[in-house]
Amino acid sequence: MTPRLRLQNITKRYGSTIANRDISLEVMPGEILSVLGENGAGKSTLMKIIFGSVVPDQGQFFFNGKRVNISSPADARKLGIAMVFQHFVLFDTLTVKENILLGLPEGTSLAKLEKEIKEKSKHYGLEVDPNAVINDLSMGERQRVEILRALLTNPQLLILDEPTSVLSPLALKALFKTLRQLSSEGVSIIFITHKLNEIRALSKNCCVIRGGQVVANVNPQEISEDDLAKLMIGNDLPEILPKPEVKQALGLDLNLRREKVSYKSHFPLSGQIHVPCGKIVGIAGISGNGQSDLMKAISGEALLPKDAISICGAPVGDLRVKHRRAMGLRYVPEERLGQATVPEMSLESNTLLTSNLFLAKGFMRNKMIHRFTETVIEKFKVKSGGSHASAASLSGGNLQKFIVGRELLHNPKILVLNQPTWGVDAGAAALIRNALIRQRTGGSAVLVVSEELDELFEICDEIVVMSEGKISPQVKISDVSIEEIGRWMSGLWPQKSEAPKEASV
Ligand SMILES: Nc1ncnc2c1ncn2[C@@H]1O[C@H](COP(=O)(O)OP(=O)(O)OP(=O)(O)O)[C@@H](O)[C@H]1O
């Protein structure tokens, strides 16, 4: 059979970094090829090269047996290649259907498109409202829009760069079903993920990239997850640290009584969360259930009644970000390019932007900023061109390590993180999780929002679930199962008398 796509000797350099070195690979019609590699291995660069948004320094492409030139996304689209990018490329102020229209041939009618979106999204279990404005959607919902947009072009080759990072278990199952269906219809799929279980569930052929080179082609169903991880990072995965009991003190407390965060909010927030110092509390739930509003309220981007939130016993609900930072609260938002960092600015400037620590009498403390940034890069093994490299030049996972490291290095009393290991490879995820456990054991209160139940069960002491803005009872991780919490995610948690023992808060 002729391969759908064959790449031969692809090389791409960025200055002294060789992102792809002499890469050759093939994808057959209907094949699901997974591409695995640690953060910064060169996966996204390779995918962007196939999609024409990055032009290689060297190498050749063959599509359905014919030598082709792919020097722009328009070339790729003409061939029938569609891509779902790791970082969303959606216009915030436009609606879902307007965004999708932009990627389709001229003359497509909006009314017809709305119908098609509804049909496709229902069929694939990727439900979104075509008339919703992107700005009002959670990351999970935005991801769904990106996937739908690609599927609406009826591609011959579909590239997905970490498409599952923010999907709920149910949506993930539906996506896998879709991908298998597409594959049975002859569509070739290249699938990048850091989640080894997904690779094993979905594909029989996995190309492992390390340091920009292909280091192995394996059938992931025939080797263990540990061996796959070892191939990817070249080492064994670090063990997750134990969580010894520590003396507790008041940390972050939320007491929400149907609080509406903004006029655009889908749900008012209600319920209680208590995060004592010395504990990690997790918030599970499918994104789009009020987590973004809750994060805005906790960080101080949105204001609530004074007593809705308190830090170490002091009410702060009506205080702004800088006051809460001064009281020891630090926050890692979900959106790394745009909210957590300014993409065009250097890592040093991005360090400066999030703290007053680096200003003295109106002057910038340049040496301190430099030292702080270098320490984050070193401690969190951030692969980058140094502290002057722009945030946008870092691979997704490396930027995430930088952001989490930057906040942790402030040694916050209260640390709040939204999807802390999104897009981070298995080795780096373990590094981040251990850093959070160390912070908790050192006496900080840590609140983590994550859609990954495995992650929450690994690091948290206690857990709540959020559904349609409501917060479930807070329970000890040791008193519930992953399956139970999975069920609670649809809002069906037991009422107080039947709930597992509530945490001692
Ligand atoms: N536009 C750019 N300018 C400079 N360096 C870049 C640029 N794009 C990528 N790089 C570098 O190329 C290398 C490979 O990056 P790439 O984004 O392809 O990695 P990745 O395997 O997709 O990582 P991740 O899993 O973290 O997304 C990294 O060292 C990265 O810093």
Helix, coil or strand: residue 358: helix
Token pair of 499 as six digits: 């709930």
List the CATH code of the domain at 5-233: 3.40.50.300
pTM equals 0.78
Q: Which of 301, 275, 292 is nearest to 436 (CA)?
A: 275
Strand pairing class (32-37; 205-210):
parallel
What are the pLDDT tens digits along the chain (505 aa)?
899 999 999 999 998 889 999 999 999 999 999 999 988 899 999 999 999 999 999 999 999 999 999 999 999 999 999 998 877 788 989 999 999 998 777 788 888 999 999 988 887 777 889 999 998 887 678 878 888 889 888 899 999 988 776 666 666 777 788 889 889 989 999 999 878 888 888 999 999 999 999 999 999 999 988 888 888 888 888 889 999 999 889 999 999 999 988 877 788 999 999 999 999 999 999 877 899 899 999 999 999 999 999 999 999 999 999 999 999 999 999 888 888 899 999 999 999 998 888 888 888 889 999 999 999 999 999 999 899 999 999 988 899 999 999 999 999 999 999 999 987 888 889 999 999 999 999 999 999 999 888 899 999 999 999 999 999 999 999 999 998 998 898 888 887 656 566 665 5
Q: How far is the CA of 394 from the centre of ligand 1 (A)?
A: 6
Q: Are 455 and 422 in contact (CB under 8 A)?
A: no
Give 333-336's long-range contacts (Cβ < 8 A, gap of 24+).
333/295, 333/299, 333/418, 334/139, 334/166, 334/292, 334/295, 334/418, 334/419, 334/422, 334/449, 335/139, 336/396, 336/399, 336/400, 336/403, 336/422
Give the tokens for residue 1: 């059979």
11, 13, 17, 381: residue to mutate for ligand 1 pocket, most atoms within 8 A of CB: 17
Residue ranges of the chain assigned to CATH 3.40.50.300: 5-233, 250-498
The alpha carbon of 89 and the centre of ligand 1 are apart by a number of angstroms equal to: 17
* CATH of segment(s) 250-498: 3.40.50.300
Across 28-134, where does the E strand assignment appear? Answer: 32-37, 58-63, 66-68, 81-84
Q: Tokens 């290689």, residue?
A: 56
Give the residue, by CA position, lying nearest to ligand 1 atom 29: 40
Among protein residues, the one whose CA lies closest to atom 4 of ligand 1: 393
Rounded to the nearest angstrom, the distance between the alpha carbon of 496 and the centre of ligand 1 is 49
Do the Cβ atoms of 33 and 207 come closer than 8 Å? Answer: yes
Counting atoms of ligand 1 from 1, which one is nearest the CA of 12? 12
Other residues' Cβ atoms within 10 Å of the Cβ of residue 387:
22
Q: CA-CA distance, 352 to 36, in Å (whole number)?
A: 34
Protein residue closest via CA to atom 18 of ligand 1: 42
Of all protein residues, whose CA lies closest to atom 6 belonging to ligand 1? 393
- Ligand 1 binding pocket (C-beta < 6 A) is 14, 17, 19, 37, 39-45, 86, 383-384, 393-398, 423
What is the complex's ipTM, to 2 decimals? 0.98
